[in-house]
Structure 1
Amino acid sequence: MDQEGTRTCMVCGQPKEEGIQIVTEFICTSCESEMVNTKVEDERYPFFVRQLRQLWVRFHA
């Protein structure tokens, strides 16, 4: 956690207060919503896959 309840989002890198904790990483509400609503065909999809892959790699390292 950073200052007063804010955590840094692993996707956008911004300090946010609201979001989800997955293992040791934090994803803010806005990034979570964007990921959930992104279709496979969307140009942002590979970016989100790369970000989530980092989570998997860190967890299994």
Structure 2
Amino acid sequence: MNLSEHKEVCGVCDLEKPKGIHLYNLFICCECEQKMVHTEPSEEQYKFYLDKLKHINQPKLYS
């Protein structure tokens, strides 16, 4: 598999994307990262992003 073909599911938009960042166990695509960085606390989307980021510190449980 070519690395350019590797995609991960974004923890914010839930879509498969080829590029992004990892914050602990959460993958965030480049598009969502940019939207988050440019969202002001007074905007309605801000709470949505905060709720998504709450999943960062919750370790995955494997059974």
What TM-score, normalized by structure 2, do the two folds share? 0.81
Which runs of structure 1 show a deviation greater than 3 angstroms over 4 or more consecutive aligned residues? none
Structure 2, unpaired ranges of 5+: none
2:26·2:55 contact (CA, 8 Å) conserved in 1?
Answer: no
Which residue is equivalent to 1:36? 37
Identity rate of aligned residues, in percent? Answer: 34
Alpha-carbon distance between aligned partners in 1 of 2:20 and 2:35, rounded to the nearest angstrom:
12
Q: Report the RMSD for the aligned CA atoms in angstroms.
A: 1.4
Shift of 1:23: 1.1
Which residue is equivalent to 2:48? 47
Larger gyration radius, structure 1 or structure 2: 2
SS at match of 1:55: coil
Alpha-carbon distance between aligned partners in 1 of 2:49 and 2:25, rounded to the nearest angstrom:
17
Structure 1, unpaired ranges of 5+: none
More helix by share: 1
Q: How many residues align?
A: 56
SS at match of 1:41: coil
Alpha-carbon distance between aligned partners in 2 of 1:25 and 1:40, rounded to the nearest angstrom:
21
Alpha-carbon distance between aligned partners in 1 of 2:24 and 2:43, rounded to the nearest angstrom:
27
